[in-house]
Amino acid sequence: MSASQLNTIRECPRRWWYYATGAEEREMDNRYADCGSAVHEAIEKHIGGEHPDHGALTADLDDEMYDRYKRCYEKYLAIRCFLSLDHAEAEKELDCQVNGIRLMGRLDVVDGDTVIDWKTGKPSEGERYQAAVYQHLMRENGAVAPRVLFIYLQTGEVSAAPEYPVEYVPTIVEKALATIRSEEYPATGVGCHWCRYAHICGVSR
């Protein structure tokens, strides 16, 4: 289970149930997601010592998303000058066991005890769960005092997540498991406008 799945169960249990059971997804505007993926891949290559092929990475982006990609990558280069990432690992995968389930995450950058997460969009409530899960994963994999930095590439803002207590993630995992065990998945009406299952749910506000 990932941080995004934990947040989905909290936000709308029915959306998680549709996802878990492989329900049919409606077509969505994926332009922003595609742009974000391209930015992340370019940064991963740069941190790894390669020169990103911007032409290939942006080949399928329209003009608006290309401009967004360019702004984000240029902001990354400006911020990169102030970061010591000589021993950093990009796209690092970590996992651990929590309450009998496998908790996992793919971390944008791990540098010592610090996690850096690049954001091409705006801050969201789900980042609280993301930061807590990343801290827990880092602790379970040997970090002493893990910290999580969110860097918003549209604005250059850097936000340090608060330190969450060690029992925080096991608690939210147990709440998620309780929802799953109940076999009751109510629709909350939250986030319906971007939900991939709104066409079969029929609940929105």
Q: What's the gap between Cα 4 and its chain centre? A: 7
pLDDT of residue 81: 84
pLDDT of residue 99: 92
**Tens-digit pLDDT profile for the chain (205 aa)?**
999 999 999 999 999 999 999 999 998 889 999 999 999 999 999 998 899 999 999 999 999 999 999 999 999 999 988 888 878 899 999 999 999 999 999 999 999 999 999 999 999 888 988 999 999 999 999 999 999 999 999 999 999 999 999 999 999 999 999 999 999 999 999 989 889 999 999 775 4
* pTM for the predicted model, two decimal places: 0.90
pLDDT of residue 204: 58
Give every CB contact of residue 81 below 8 A, 6+ residues apart in sequence.
Answer: none
Walk me through the domains of the chain, giving residue ranges and CATH numbers: 3-30+91-201 (3.90.320.10)
Residues 46 and 153: their CA atoms lie apart, in Å, by 15
pLDDT of residue 85: 80
Residues 173 and 195: their CA atoms lie apart, in Å, by 22
